C-alpha cells in the first residue's frame, strides 16, 4: 500500500497542502509547532476516521477559516487492494466519507483500505498506562484488518451500556430484573467473540513481537505478550478457550456476579476488563521497564503489527513515525530503518540529520503550516 498523492484543506494550521510522497522514506522536517504531526494525523484519519492525539475531531477544522464558505478536507489517492483508489474525508461543514467518489454512510468505511501503522510518543502509554490503552491498541489493529470487528465492538458496547442502565433501574425496582437475562446473553455472545478474536490475533502478534525484540535488544531480553482475562473472570475464564466455552463461562459469571453488578451499576466480567500482559525477561514491563526498554517494546509491537497487516492483506502497510526517531539510540534507529525497507514511511523530525541514515529519503520541509517538497526554497538576498 502507498499514498500516491495527498491534499489537505483547512486542516488545523494547514491552509492548503498538496504532496506527492515518495514510495520509500519521506522525511517531514520542521521546527516545533509547524504542522508535522498535523500531516501525520490527517493521513491516519484515512485509516479509520479517528485521530490518534489530543482533542476531538471537531477541533480539527482550521480555527480562523471562514466557516461559511470554506471546508476542511483530507483527500488521498492511494494504491490499496491492488489498485489506485480515492479516499476523501470532509470534516467541515458536514462530516462525509467518500471512497472513489461515492459517499459511504456510517462509520468504518475506510477500514481495510489504506492500512497504516503509527508510532508516536503517546504510544509509550501502551506499556506504562492502564489496560484501556492496550485494549485500544489491540482493537485498533484488528479493526484495520477486519471491518466486521468494528461492528461487533460497537454492538458489544451498546449491549454493555443497556445492561448498565437496566442494572441501575433494577437496583430500585427488582421487577426489572426479568429483562436482565436477555442482556446477559448479548454481552456473553458478543463478548466471547471479541475475546477469541483478540486472542487469535495476539497469538501471532506475540511471536512476531518477541522476534523483533530479540533483534532490538541483541538477544539480551525476552519479550512475552499474553492476553489476560480481567475483572471477575480473572483466574476463572480460560483466555485460550473456544468461543462457545468462553460464552458459556461468561454467561455463568454474569449470573453469579449479578448482585455485585447491581450494587455497582456496571458489569464486572467481559472483554472490557481484559488486558495484555507485557513481560520483559519474566518481569512486568509496566513496573520494571526503563524508558528505553518501553520504547523497544512498543517498537517491537508496532513492527509486529506491520507483519500482521502484510500477512493478512498481502501488502505492506504505510508506516508513520511521529517524533520518535530522535528518542531512539543509533542502533535502534538502524534496526528500525532496516526493517522498514520496501514500505512507504513518513518520519517527522525537527532537523534533517536523519538524512545520513536514510540517504534515499524524500525531504519535505514544513513552516507555519506550509509544506516545501525538496526542502525550503533558497531565498535570494535582498539588495
Ligand atoms: N484547529 C486548529 N487551527 C489552527 N491551528 C491549529 C489547530 N489545531 C492545532 N493547531 C496548531 O497547529 C500547530 C502545529 O501543530 P503540530 O502538532 O502539527 O506541530 P509539530 O510540527 O508536529 O510540532 P512538534 O515538533 O512540536 O511536535 C500548533 O501550533 C497547534 O496549536
The DSSP symbol for 316 reads P
Among protein residues, the one with the nearest Cα to ligand 1's atom 2 is 12
Identify the pLDDT of residue 54.
64
For residue 255, the model assigns a pLDDT of 93
Task: Tell me what pLDDT residue 55 has.
Answer: 65
Ligand-binding annotation for 32, yes or no, is: yes
Find the angle CA(275)-CA(280)-CA(283) to the nearest 5 degrees.
80
Q: Which atom of ligand 1 is nearest to the CA of 350?
A: 25
Q: Is the Cβ atom of 59 under 6 angstroms away from ligand 1? A: yes
> What distance in Å separates the CA atoms of residue 241 and residue 203, rounded to the nearest whole number?
13
The residue assigned the cell 497469538 is 203
Q: Whose CA is nearest to atom 26 of ligand 1?
A: 32
Ligand 1 center to residue 20 CA distance, Å? 22
The grid coordinates listed for 62 are 482550521
pLDDT of residue 29: 95
To the question of whether residue 270 is assigned a binding role by annotation, the answer is no
Cα distance between residue 57 and residue 37, in whole Å: 15
Q: Which grid cell is 12?
A: 488545523
Q: For 61, which DSSP code?
A: B
All residue ranges of the chain with pLDDT < 50 are: 382-383
Residues 6+ apart with CB under 8 A from 283: none
Query: How much is the ipTM here?
Result: 0.98
CA-65 nearest atom, ligand 1: 3
3-state secondary structure 227-253: EECCHHHCCCCCCCCCHHHHHHHHHHH
| Residue located nearest, by CA, to atom 11 of ligand 1 | 13
Q: Is the CB of 10 under 6 A from ligand 1?
A: no
Query: For ligand 1, atom 18, which residue shows the shortest CA distance?
Result: 35
Q: How far is the CA of 34 from the centre of ligand 1 (A)?
A: 6
Cα-based distances in Å from 121 to 18, 44, 118, 279, 295: 26, 15, 10, 20, 9
What pLDDT, on the 0 to 100 scale, is given for residue 381? 54
Is 98 annotated to bind a ligand? Reply is no
User: Ligand 1 within 6 A of 32 CB?
Assistant: yes
The answer to whether the CB of 218 is under 6 A from ligand 1 is no
From the CB of 58, is ligand 1 less than 6 Å away? no
Half-sphere exposure of 288 (CA within 13 A, CB side): 10
Whether 63 lines ligand 1, by a CB cut-off of 6 Å, is yes
Q: Whose CA is nearest to atom 24 of ligand 1?
A: 32
At residue 50, the pLDDT reads 78
| Residues 6 or more apart in contact with residue 338 via CB below 8 angstroms | none
Name all domains of the chain by residue range, CATH numbers in brackets: 1-115+315-383 (3.40.50.300), 121-313 (1.20.1050.90)
Q: Cα–Cα–Cα angle for 124, 126, 128, nearest 5°?
A: 75
Which pLDDT does position 238 carry in this prediction? 85
- Residue 346: count of CB within 10 angstroms of its CB: 26
Amino acid at each position: 500500500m502507498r499514498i500516491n498523492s495527498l491534499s489537505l484543506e483547512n486542516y488545523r494550521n494547514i491552509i492548503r497542502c498538496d504532496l506527492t510522497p515518495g514510495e520509500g522514506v519521506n522525511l517531514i522536517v520542521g521546527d516545533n509547532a509547524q504542522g508535522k504531526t498535523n500531516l501525520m494525523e490527517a493521513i491516519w484519519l484515512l485509516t479509520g476516521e479517528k485521530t490518534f492525539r489530543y482533542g476531538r475531531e471537531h477541533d480539527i477544522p482550521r480555527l480562523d477559516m471562514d466557516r461559511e464558505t470554506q471546508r476542511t478536507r483530507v483527500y488521498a489517492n492511494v494504491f490499496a487492494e491492488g489498485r489506485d483508489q480515492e479516499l476523501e474525508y470532509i470534516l467541515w461543514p458536514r462530516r462525509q466519507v467518500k471512497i472513489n467518489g461515492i459517499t459511504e454512510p456510517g462509520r468504518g468505511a475506510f477500514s481495510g483500505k489504506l492500512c497504516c501503522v503509527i508510532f508516536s510518543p503517546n504510544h509509550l502509554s501502551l506499556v506504562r498506562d492502564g489496560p484501556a490503552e492496550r485494549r485500544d491498541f489491540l482493537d485498533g489493529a484488528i479493526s484495520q484488518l477486519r471491518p466486521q470487528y468494528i461492528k461487533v465492538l460497537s454492538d458489544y458496547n451498546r449491549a454493555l451500556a443497556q445492561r448498565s442502565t437496566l442494572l441501575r433501574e433494577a437496583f430500585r425496582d427488582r421487577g426489572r430484573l426479568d429483562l436482565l437475562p436477555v442482556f446477559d446473553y448479548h454481552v456473553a455472545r458478543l463478548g466471547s467473540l471479541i475475546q477469541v478474536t483478540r486472542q487469535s490475533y495476539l497469538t501471532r502478534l506475540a511471536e512476531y513481537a518477541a522476534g523483533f525484540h530479540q533483534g532490538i535488544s541483541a538477544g539480551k531480553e525476552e519479550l512475552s505478550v499474553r492476553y489476560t482475562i480481567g475483572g471477575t473472570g480473572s483466574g476463572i475464564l480460560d483466555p485460550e478457550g473456544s468461543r462457545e466455552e468462553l460464552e458459556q463461562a461468561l454467561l455463568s459469571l454474569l449470573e453469579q456476579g449479578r448482585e455485585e453488578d447491581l450494587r455497582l451499576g456496571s458489569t464486572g466480567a467481559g472483554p472490557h476488563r481484559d488486558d495484555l500482559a507485557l513481560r520483559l525477561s519474566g518481569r512486568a514491563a509496566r513496573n520494571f521497564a526503563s524508558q528505553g526498554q518501553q520504547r523497544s517494546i512498543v517498537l517491537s509491537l508496532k513492527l509486529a503489527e506491520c507483519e500482521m497487516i502484510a500477512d493478512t492483506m498481502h501488502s505492506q502497510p504505510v508506516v508513520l513515525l511521529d517524533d520518535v526517531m530522535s528518542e531512539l539510540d543509533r542502533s535502534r534507529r538502524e534496526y528500525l530503518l532496516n526493517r522498514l525497507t520496501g514500505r512507504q514511511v513518513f518520519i517527522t523530525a525537527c532537523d534533517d540529520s536523519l538524512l545520513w541514515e536514510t540517504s534515499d529519503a524524500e525531504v519535505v520541509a514544513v513552516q507555519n503550516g506550509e509544506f516545501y517538497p525538496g526542502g525550503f526554497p533558497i531565498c535570494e538576498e535582498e539588495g
